[in-house]
Structure 1
Amino acid sequence: MKRVNVFIMCLFLVSVATAISFGKLMTDTGTFLIALLFFWIFSTLYSHLSVIVNKGKIRMDYSISYGLAISLLAGPLGAFIFEGVQRFIVYLIRKMTKTADKEEFIHTFYNIGAFALNNSIAYFLFIWLSPALEHLPLNLGFWLLIMLIVSIVSLLSDCYLITVFSLSGEMKSIKEAFEFIKTRNLFDMGKTAFSNGLLFVFLNEQRWEMLFALFFLNYLVSRSFFEKTNLLQHKMERDKFKEMAYTDFLTEVHNRAFMDHIMNELDQSVEELGIVVCDIDNFKRINDSYNHAVGDRVIQQFAATLRQHLRDEDYLFRSGGEEFTIFLRHRSYDECLVLVEQIRSSVACQPAEAEFKGQPIFIAYTATFGLYYHQTDQLIDMKSAYVSADDLLLFTKDRGKNGFSAKNGKDAVQEPFFVKNGYWSISLDCRRISMPGP
């Protein structure tokens, strides 16, 4: 960071030299002091509305500067006095409120040097180019010149920041520099040009009431935008934390907490759905034969296989270690039966790929399923229906793994039936279905 600090101090000293060499204010002292008071008050108010973005070790404050107008009025010395007073007062406020970062002091020198030097350059451009454009009608020349000056100053600011990022190692290629320049918001540049242009006009005419009105209007607009941005950012952060809280870190499917949440929601609906509870057969043997990293890969493969067969409207949860729960929505009981058998067969046919002792291995495994078909507006709630599906899983395991058992909760007298190794036959609506295994 030493090279960055040297660059910042050089920038500051060049701005000091420019102000001193010019030697005088380009307006009377009384007008300048009144303008300085107005600009200082509102610039200080605006300082807490800036958007702060951290880029590596560098903190960037995005806010619209109003120093251009006072610089065009008072020249380079006025620009330096304004930036020095305003930036150091902001620094002291942040120190007192303990919101300053550890590099705040050197950053203050950067802000004074960069903005004072840029606004001095803007003053010289204005004086130099004004005669060539003053003959255009409707003050068009004035506004074109202000837009041109703001564009040049913005590009210079980007060049300073690119230099800082390059010296600090945060930016390492020309491509990154161009990408950074492209992030410049044209609407912000337009707002800066229009606001500073009007402020300069009101300063020249000493229309202090209009100056106050424009500052106050800009403050209200900036405050509204700032609060909406904060609300949106907080909502995005809450949504992200909520998503993290409801996501299983290993498989990236929903976790048990989210399953409880969805079950409470579904209890308030009127819906028929298949509740499937399943787990990997002989999973402990996999962990004991290899290691837990291999076991994790098998769980991830199992989750991926389950997800392949589901629609966007279905829910998949990791409800235990190697146990998963599925809510199959908007399907008939028959369709759920067929889908569960398809999933069981797919699991048995897709070995999990893992790495063990530096070598790739393929582990064949199977899974066992329990399906309970449930209507959510009945007396039985979702938690009880889930327990019934879990009981069907245990019912299957007692009779042999790599199979499934199912029961239609709408038919209270129906006994659960057991399907082993994919060969099963059962009467459904007077139709006989038979499905071979893998």
Structure 2
Amino acid sequence: MIWARIFNIALFIVSVIVVLAGSDHILIDNRTYLISLLIYLAFSTLYFQLRVIGKSGNITYDYAISYSLSIVLFAGPIGLLLFETLYRFIIYFQRKITKTADEEEFYDTFYNIGAFVLSNSIGFYLFQFLMPYVEDVPFGFWLLLFVLVRVITLISDTCLVIVLKIYGEIKTRADAANFYKNRSILDMGKTALTNGLLLIILLDGNWETVISLFILNYIVSRSFVFKSQSIQDKLERDKFEQMAYTDFLTGVSNRALMDKKIEELNVTEECIGIIVADIDKFKSINDTYNHAIGDQVIQHFANTLKHCIQEEDYLFRSGGEEFTVFLRNRNFEQCEAVVEGMIGRLSSSYVNAEYKGENVEIQYTSSFGLYFFKVNEAVTLEKGYIYADQLLLQSKELGRNRLSAENGIFAITV
């Protein structure tokens, strides 16, 4: 966009004017500046890979710890201008070579130089003006650095808000205010502390310590990024696993997870009550109304079963209107009581749905088969499921809306 390009170039020109208006030389000797420049360029380029990417609509922008304040306080605005120009064009050519550059990368490079040079040069002039007033105050140096970082951040964010406004990504004052609020006080404190330590070490001329501090900062930042990525990867894996094992209509577990849990429980010797249940005459509900209402009935059925079991139990949608429950850590009588509770809950509730512009109340019943046994004593979990399914068929044959149960441990039929 032409106006964004104009703003980027104008920002760069303004930053150069601000630099030249206040200083016409580097504050340190050329040899010292060259050494510090090479160190800063090397580590800043390395740290660029650890930046955090922000996004507003179609516009992306980077968040990363900036070392510009320490170099401007050490070498002056001219020294900062040279550093930022070299650093930003190194990144520009690196992106061009790796073919990761955006269409506006060239003009964005001038924006980055201008924004960082302007904001940190203002920080430099404020430091020169305010330092005499705080040098005798306990921790005055550090408090001043934090204030400078806050001011620098505010100027940088204002420049970015203007760009986002030009692109139409920020439309109201509320949008702008929310953007400013995204900045973390802890991040600003980290920037102030890091730049302050670098400045003190630079003034002592201890290059080994400067490099060690950069390396330490890189290791900590790299570790943080690695842990953050690991957490993000785990969250994504968990999300995909949940999607793979969740029935989207009812929100309960699906047949795939049921098969997995069967494998896991098959190696145990615990007592389990397997319930297989389905909705009586479900086809007639679909035929009388429609499949959308049929789906609501299935959802209601799933929620009813879910409310009758405990956290340690498993509920699966094992077929169209068929559900399977694994009841754990109960005896046979307790499992029977759970099913009777399900039947009672269904008899006292109904599905409230809209059909042809009118509200309808749909009541339905369900048949249940319960097989209770000790896993792998004589029967596997797969075989126990088959027995429970046969008991469900028995309930259907006996007139529906009932439970047929068998205690596999004592071979008792109810």
What TM-score, normalized by structure 1, do the two folds share?
0.87
Shift of 1:343: 0.6
Shift of 1:293: 1.5
Who is 1:187 aligned against? Answer: 186
Shift of 1:408: 1.0
Shift of 1:168: 4.4
Who is 1:433 aligned against? Answer: none
**1:209-228 deviation digits (Å, cap 9, x = unpaired):** 22111111111111111111
Name the amino acid aligned to 2:37: L
Cα distance change on mapping 1:270 and 1:219 into 2, 3 Å: same
Who is 1:337 aligned against? Answer: 336
Who is 1:370 aligned against? Answer: 369
Rounded to whole Å, the distance in 1 between the matches of 2:264 and 2:243 is 19
Who is 1:61 aligned against? Answer: 62
Who is 2:289 aligned against? Answer: 290
Cα distance change on mapping 1:4 and 1:75 into 2, 3 Å: same
Rounded to whole Å, the distance in 1 between the matches of 2:195 and 2:201 is 10
Who is 1:429 aligned against? Answer: none
What TM-score, normalized by structure 2, do the two folds share?
0.91
Name the amino acid aligned to 2:11: L
Who is 1:70 aligned against? Answer: 71
**1:255-281 deviation digits (Å, cap 9, x = unpaired):** 111111112221222322211111112
Rounded to whole Å, the distance in 1 between the matches of 2:56 and 2:41 is 28
1:124 paired with 2:140, answer: no
Whether the 8 Å contact between 1:19 and 1:76 is mirrored in structure 2 is yes
Cα distance change on mapping 1:386 and 1:163 into 2, 3 Å: farther
Who is 2:299 aligned against? Answer: 300
Who is 2:405 aligned against? Answer: 406
Whether the 8 Å contact between 1:51 and 1:63 is mirrored in structure 2 is yes
Shift of 1:123: 0.7
Rounded to whole Å, the distance in 2 between the matches of 1:256 and 1:106 is 55
Rounded to whole Å, the distance in 2 between the matches of 1:306 and 1:144 is 61
Who is 1:432 aligned against? Answer: none
Name the amino acid aligned to 2:17: A
Give the CA RMSD over aligned residues: 2.4
Who is 1:95 aligned against? Answer: 96
**1:370-422 deviation digits (Å, cap 9, x = unpaired):** 1111222423221111111111112222222222211111123x33x3xxxxx
Shift of 1:245: 1.1
Cα distance change on mapping 1:108 and 1:239 into 2, 3 Å: farther
Instruction: Please list every run of 5 or more consecutive structure 2 residues that lacks an aligned counterpart in the other structure.
Output: none
Who is 1:253 aligned against? Answer: 252
Rounded to whole Å, the distance in 2 between the matches of 1:169 and 1:271 is 63
Shift of 1:20: 4.2
SS in 2 for 1:286: helix
Who is 2:223 aligned against? Answer: 224
SS in 2 for 1:379: coil
Shift of 1:148: 1.6
Cα distance change on mapping 1:3 and 1:397 into 2, 3 Å: farther
Rounded to whole Å, the distance in 1 between the matches of 2:386 and 2:42 is 66
**1:281-328 deviation digits (Å, cap 9, x = unpaired):** 222222223222221111111111111212222211111111111112
Shift of 1:172: 5.2
Shift of 1:185: 2.5
Whether the 8 Å contact between 2:309 and 2:338 is mirrored in structure 1 is no
**1:171-192 deviation digits (Å, cap 9, x = unpaired):** 5555555454444333322221
Shift of 1:2: 6.2
Rounded to whole Å, the distance in 1 between the matches of 2:392 and 2:349 is 21
Once the two structures are overlaid, the 10-residue window that deviates more, 144-153 or 6-15, is 6-15
Who is 1:197 aligned against? Answer: 196
Cα distance change on mapping 1:374 and 1:50 into 2, 3 Å: farther
Rounded to whole Å, the distance in 2 between the matches of 1:322 and 1:3 is 60
Shift of 1:229: 1.4
Cα distance change on mapping 1:288 and 1:237 into 2, 3 Å: same
Shift of 1:243: 1.2
Please show how residues 321-400 of structure 1 align to structure 2 within 5 Å. 321-400=320-399
Name the amino acid aligned to 1:211: V
Rounded to whole Å, the distance in 2 between the matches of 1:95 and 1:17 is 29
Name the amino acid aligned to 1:336: C
Aligned length: 413
Who is 2:18 aligned against? Answer: 18
Cα distance change on mapping 1:253 and 1:81 into 2, 3 Å: same
Who is 1:240 aligned against? Answer: 239
- Could you list the structure 1 runs, at least 4 aligned residues long, displaced by more than 6 angstroms after superposition: none
Who is 1:309 aligned against? Answer: 308
Cα distance change on mapping 1:122 and 1:309 into 2, 3 Å: same
Rounded to whole Å, the distance in 1 between the matches of 2:6 and 2:374 is 72
Whether the 8 Å contact between 2:270 and 2:375 is mirrored in structure 1 is yes
Cα distance change on mapping 1:298 and 1:68 into 2, 3 Å: same
Cα distance change on mapping 1:222 and 1:370 into 2, 3 Å: same
Name the amino acid aligned to 1:11: L
**1:138-183 deviation digits (Å, cap 9, x = unpaired):** xx33222212211222233333344444554545555555454444
Name the amino acid aligned to 1:248: D
Rounded to whole Å, the distance in 1 between the matches of 2:240 and 2:16 is 48
Whether the 8 Å contact between 1:348 and 1:367 is mirrored in structure 2 is no
